[in-house]
Amino acid sequence: MIGIIDYGAGNLHSVLKAIDRLDYKTKLITKPSDHDDAITKLILPGVGNAKVAMDVLNETGLAIYIKEQVANGTPLLGICLGMQLLLETSEEGNVECLGLIKGTVPEFKEMVKKVPHMGWNQVMDVQNHFLFHQIPQNTDFYFVHSFFANPTDEKDILGITNYGFAFASVIGNEQVMGVQFHPEKSGKYGIQLLENYCK
- The residues annotated as belonging to the active site are 80, 182, 184
Q: Which of 164, 167, 198, 173 is nearest to 184 (CA)?
A: 198
Name the region of 117 (left: φ>0; alpha: ψ -120 to 50; beta: rest). beta
Of the candidates 181, 167, 85, 81, the residue with the CA atom closest to the CA atom of residue 131 = 181
Q: Give CA separation, 53 vs 3, 93, 95, 153, 199, in Å.
A: 18, 10, 10, 25, 28
What phi, psi does 176 have (nearest 5°)? -110, 120
